Every structure is written in structure tokens, then in C-alpha cells.
Structure 1
Amino acid sequence: MLLVVVLVTAWAAGSQRSGPDAGVSGPAGSTDAVRLGPDAGEDVAAYLARAAVVPDPGVPSPRLALVQFEAGLDPAAAASAVGTAQPLRAVVRVPFPRVQTALRDVDLQPAPPEAAFRAALTTAAGQAAQDATVAPAGTRRAAVASAEAAALGRPDCGCLVAVVVRVAPSEVPALRSRPGVRAVQVAPPGTARTRLAVSPLLPDQGLGRADGPVVGPVPDDGPVPPTG
């Protein structure tokens, strides 16, 4: 049966932030956040069409963009997917089937992309372990968080679902065509990292995918996989 679900944007956009660069900025002087990702309840096809538009393409200076992947990628594959774009933040999610897991938004360390992505998985694993510690013992919440921590602790975890990068508008077409990239949504000129909120399209959302054509998180109603 086709699952139709609704996106809870407030949780996804700002949950599990890590590092000193919390939040995002709009054009100079604005105090409003600039949000990248689908709107609540937005059809996936409509979002992909909207994301294909580059705001003010005649402004050549590099700007922030949300690169969303076709599937969860490991650090090496994610580094290959972003190419020469400068990665700044990673969105991490453990892909347990039919289990809602946390979106963990991690600022990247100044390092080669693959190494920075590996460090992001380590940071996310620590967050999940902390979640398991504070959850009531023996509860499903604790079990899911423990399973997340174990998965994220593996260096080859295919858990990178999106990356915020800095890229020049002229380089966006090449970035969109790279293997593993599903969509690239570019922020308006002048958007600052301190005002950027991201809520990416997840790999299992969309026509022909596990969650069908409407954007939304998977309910927490599946079995917790063994941590192995």
C-alpha cells in the first residue's frame, strides 16, 4: 500500500545540530532563516522542479546550496558526489527500513571531504549514543538510538543523505549531473550560514520509492534491526 505521510519541518530543519554554526541567514540585513528542502506536504515532483531553479543566476559569486543524494552514501561516495564544491555541513540519517531515525545536522571540520565526512559520522554516532543514554532504559527509543550509534560507528555507513556546500552558480549544472546526486537547491545570493535551515528530501521519498510521492518521515513502526 502506498504510504502517504506529512513532513514535520520544524523537527527536521533544526534537529540535532552540531558545531558552532547553528542556524542560517537570508539576504544581508534579514533576520529570517532561509530554508532549503521541500515545504510541508509538498509533492516531490513539484519540489524537484522548484529546486532546479537557481535564484538570480546572473550573480556569479559562490553561494550555499543543498545537495541531496539518490541514496544514503558512505564518506568516499559522498566526497565523489560533491566534486569540487566546498562541503560545509552534512545531514546524516541511518536508513533502517520502516523505522524513523533522527536527522543529524553536523558542521564539517576543515579537512579533505572524505575525512570530514568520516568525522561527521563519528560525531553523529556520539549524538546517537548520548540519545540512548538519556532515553529510559529498555524503551524502544533507547533501542533505536543504540542501533543508530552502532551503524554510525562503522566507517562505511551509507548514512550521508545531504550536504550543504558552497558553489558558484556556473558550476551547479555539473554538480547536478554527478553520479549519486538527486537534486541541488541553491540559496539566494547573500544567504549566510548562520541563517540557513535545511530539511532535505530523503532518498526514500518520491514516486516509485518506499514512501511514495508525498514528502514525509517514516513512522516509528518497524522492527529495530540488530546492531550486529
Structure 2
Amino acid sequence: MLRYTGIAAVTIAVVAGVVAGALQPRPAQRVATDRLGPDSGEPVAAYLARSRDSLRGTDSAPHWALLSAASGLDPASIPDLTGGLRVSQVLVHVPLDRVSTPDISVIVPADPAQAAAAEQVAAGHLLAELGPAGDTGHDPVLEPDPGVVRELSMYRVVAGRLRAGCACVVGLVVRGPLDRLRELAGRPGARAVQALPADAGAGNFSVVPLLPEQLDAVTPGPDDGPVPPG
């Protein structure tokens, strides 16, 4: 059962052998020392300036980078926006008025069709976690926990909107040389592109999206409104 705390993100891996690999012993995970995305509480203007600075340089080595969208993107637009750059993660966020919703990161293989299908993958994962009948999240003998009921309702709405194909892609983790990343930053639909140093290792960095609705500072939005019907 999913439990969303309001700050945690959901990560979904879409690679062959994920389920089988989960049954095997795993080596100790490396500590992620690099980060793509804004810091908690950081002024948005400061992050945008920091992103521009990260693209300076003349080396031709490939860099991992985060593209932050100016507004929610249709997943079908990903191949045209990225212009052939390798996409490794699709960051999805379904905005609901005055309701906190999770950031969902879908890890995709090097296949443009998989990136375009990221919302459907995320929706399927959430619905599978909720169960075929929609888990009520409480013991039927006891009074339902309002917080859990609200959380489950929110997940159902989020999954439904993803399944319907909403324009809810808010970021992409891509890989390319600095000149291509600078070009990407200037394309319509791109709000910012932040690059890591060329020596940053795959899987050894964390990713936090800059949401389109975050205009002044990177802070959580309100969570005091009713969950809308699906």
C-alpha cells in the first residue's frame, strides 16, 4: 500500500528484470552526492540563475541534466522537445487545487516510445498499488482514518488523470554535451536546464523537480482543499 507523506517522491523503474532483480541480494547503495533540481526553500530566481551557470563551459563530454518545463507537457511532445537527446527519467506531477500530490519519477530505457508512455506506466503502477477494488485503507470494524481515506482518494484521482493523458510531465533527466543542453534550454516549453559536472555517475545523483506552479520559492503548496472527484 502506498503511503504518501507530502514530501516523498514515487520512483518507478521501467527496465527489464526489475521484479526479478528485487528478489536478489543487492549491494550497498552509493551515497548520492550530486543533485539535480532546486533546494528546499530556494528562491526560484536563484535556481534559474544557477541552472544557467551550470551550462557554461566548452568541453564536449556528455552531462546529465534536468530540464524543467515551463508548464505541464504532453508526454507525446517529449521526442520533439529533446531533439534526440537521451532521456533517462520522466518526472510527472498532477496538480490539484490546494491538494498536495506526489512527484513521480519514471525511469525509462533508451527508447523514445517508452518516454512518451511514462504517464501510462505511472498510472498503472498507482492503480496496481491501490488494488482491484480500491483499498479503503482501514479496518471495516473501526472508524476510517480521514487522513488515509483522503490520501487514497487523492491517489485515485492522480492515477485517473494520468491514465487520461493529462499534460503532467514537469521535468526530464537527459544526457548530452553542453552545447546541445544550451540549445535545449532555449526551446519553447523549457523553463530551465541544469547540468551536473561531466564526471557525475549514472544513478549517483538525486533529482527534485521544479514545479511549474513554483514561482517565488521552492516550498510545498497548501493541502487544505477537498480532493476533487475523479
Q: In structure 2, what residue type is equivalent to 1:179?
A: P
- Tell me whether 75-84 or 179-188 shows the greater mean CA deviation: 75-84
Equivalent residue number for residue 163 of structure 2: 153
Equivalent residue number for residue 137 of structure 2: 136
Conserved 8 A contact 1:56-1:189? no
Distance 1:135 1:123 in 2: 23
Conserved 8 A contact 1:73-1:159? yes
Equivalent residue number for residue 67 of structure 2: 67
Equivalent residue number for residue 125 of structure 1: 123
Distance 2:80 2:224 in 1: 34
Extract unaligned runs of 5+ from structure 1: 1-9, 23-29, 207-212
Seq. identity, %: 36
Conserved 8 A contact 1:135-1:141? no
Equivalent residue number for residue 94 of structure 1: 94
Extract unaligned runs of 5+ from structure 2: 1-5, 19-29, 139-143
Distance 1:135 1:198 in 2: 32
Equivalent residue number for residue 185 of structure 1: 194
Q: CA deviation at 1:56?
A: 6.8
User: Structure 1 225/31 Cα, relative in aligned 2: closer, same or farther at 3 Å?
Assistant: closer
Conserved 8 A contact 1:65-1:166? yes
User: Structure 1 31/56 Cα, relative in aligned 2: closer, same or farther at 3 Å?
Assistant: farther
Q: In structure 2, what residue type is equivalent to 1:215?
A: V
- Structure 1's consecutive aligned runs of 4 or more residues displaced over 4 angstroms after TM superposition are none
Conserved 8 A contact 1:55-1:189? no
Q: CA deviation at 1:153?
A: 0.7
- Tell me whether 121-130 or 145-154 shows the greater mean CA deviation: 121-130
Q: Is 1:41 equivalent to 2:26 in the alignment?
A: no
Equivalent residue number for residue 222 of structure 1: 225
Give the length in aligned residue pairs: 200
Conserved 8 A contact 1:99-1:219? yes
Q: Is 1:200 equivalent to 2:198 in the alignment?
A: no
Structure 1-normalised TM-score?
Answer: 0.79
Conserved 8 A contact 2:41-2:217? yes
Q: In structure 2, what residue type is equivalent to 1:128?
A: L
- Higher-Rg member (1/2): 2
Structure 2-normalised TM-score?
Answer: 0.78
Deviations 1:194-216 (A, max 9, x none): 1121111100001xxxxxx1212
Equivalent residue number for residue 17 of structure 1: 11
Q: CA deviation at 1:130?
A: 4.0
User: Structure 1 16/57 Cα, relative in aligned 2: closer, same or farther at 3 Å?
Assistant: same
